[in-house]
Amino acid sequence: MIKMCKIYTLYDRVNFTSEQIILFGLLDTLPIEPQHFYNHKNESRYKGMIDFCKKNINYVNTPEECDIIVLPYKFKDITDINYINLNILSKELNKPLWCFYNDDNDKLFNISSNVILFRTSFYKISKLQNEYAMIAFSPDYFNEMTNEITNDINSSDLSIGYCGHLNNCRGKYLQILYHSDIKTNFIIRNGFWAPGIDKNIARKEYFDNIRNNLFTFCYRGAGNFSYRFYEILMMGKIPILINTDCVFPFEDKININDIALVINEKDINIDNIDTTLINIIKSYYYKNKDNLLNIQQNNRFIWETYYSPIGFINNIINNNF
């Protein structure tokens, strides 16, 4: 019998944002969010989270009973009074304090060794031992009825998709891909979240673009992480990720090179960037041509098992941090 995880928090201060999905078992209905956080079936990105948390987490009334203390809202910084008080309690009881930080900010925080900080934006070179990558959550757009991953020959064609803006150095790489002999399918937006376009239409075009291409170009946003990376895996496709020293969740269990074509930006030859980039992509494609279907199927499995909201929480409460 699996032992339920016991969590203590400041219940009167809980803010049920994406950072706090580990506390969703305290709810009976999911929070209402903007429409773009619901999929084509009008399902929340947190579908199933309440039932999962109620089944697997016991929210206890006293800190002495718990396995983990959880900051009840998005981590601010180490000067926050509730963080300070829970940190003191954590040290006194020798219980870890978990904090969650879904943010573009990559600031270094001087957290103590008893604190576990799950965050989206930071760098491997400066990562603290007790910092871990947090998933960027999106609704599930995979269509089980039609099966996005098929044996159709088009699912293995060398094509690269992208739907988004050109900021943060993306334009440089997209221009190279667009002018190469590789088939591309790019939809360029004027800015973040497709300004001037109905968000439901923009969202549909975004996921259709991922669905209709074997690869999708992927680069960091304002923070050193990418929503798109997880969404490509969700759709059972393959990211071409220009890696800017990102930290990925569960790297002790998942080899990122098995689920994505990862190109470390620091290794790209600036003097010959066009040839370097195109050759790497073609080499990966032809090397893996007979295994592309398996990679796509595995990517969907990885998303369900580790990178979905339920997968993420399931793994962190059963991991030994």
* 256-311 pLDDT tens trace: 999 999 999 988 877 788 888 999 999 999 999 999 999 999 999 999 999 999 99
For residues 57-74, give the mean pLDDT.
97
User: Are the CB atoms for 87 and 97 separated by under 8 Å?
Assistant: yes
Q: What does pTM read for this prediction?
A: 0.93
Among 7, 6, 15, smallest CA distance to 86 is for 7
36: pLDDT confidence band, cut at 50, 70 and 90? confident
- Rounded CA-CA distance 64/53 in Å is 20
Rg over alpha carbons for the chain, rounded to the nearest Å, is 21
For residues 234-242, give the mean pLDDT.
97
Buried b (16+ CB within 10 A) or exposed e, 239-248: bbbbbbebbb
User: Are the CB atoms for 137 and 226 separated by under 8 Å?
Assistant: no
pLDDT at 148: 58
pLDDT at 1: 42
| Boundaries of every domain in the chain | 5-134, 153-305
Share of the chain above pLDDT 90, in %: 82
User: Are the CB atoms for 239 and 229 separated by under 8 Å?
Assistant: yes
In this predicted model, what pLDDT tens digit does every residue of 121-167 receive, in sequence order?
A: 999 999 999 999 999 999 999 986 555 565 444 567 899 999 999 98
pLDDT at 153: 44
pLDDT at 179: 93
- Rounded CA-CA distance 285/232 in Å is 17
H helical segments located in the chain: 49-56, 81-93, 170-178, 199-211, 227-234, 256-259, 273-287, 292-302, 309-317
Residue 230 has pLDDT above 90, yes or no: yes
* Structure-token pair, residue 131: 């910092």
Element (H, E) at 8: strand 5-8
Architecture of the 153-305 domain = 3-Layer(aba) Sandwich (3.40)
Share of the chain above pLDDT 70, in %: 94
| Inter-axis angle of helices 309-317 and 49-56, nearest 10 | 10
pLDDT at 76: 96
Name the 3-class secondary structure at 98.
strand
Q: How many helices (H) and strands (E) does the chain have?
A: 9, 11
pLDDT at 225: 97
- Rounded CA-CA distance 45/33 in Å is 9
pLDDT at 267: 84
For residues 75-83, give the mean pLDDT.
97
Among 230, 220, 235, 215, smallest CA distance to 284 is for 215
For residues 168-191, give the mean pLDDT.
93
Among 120, 106, 126, 80, smallest CA distance to 312 is for 120
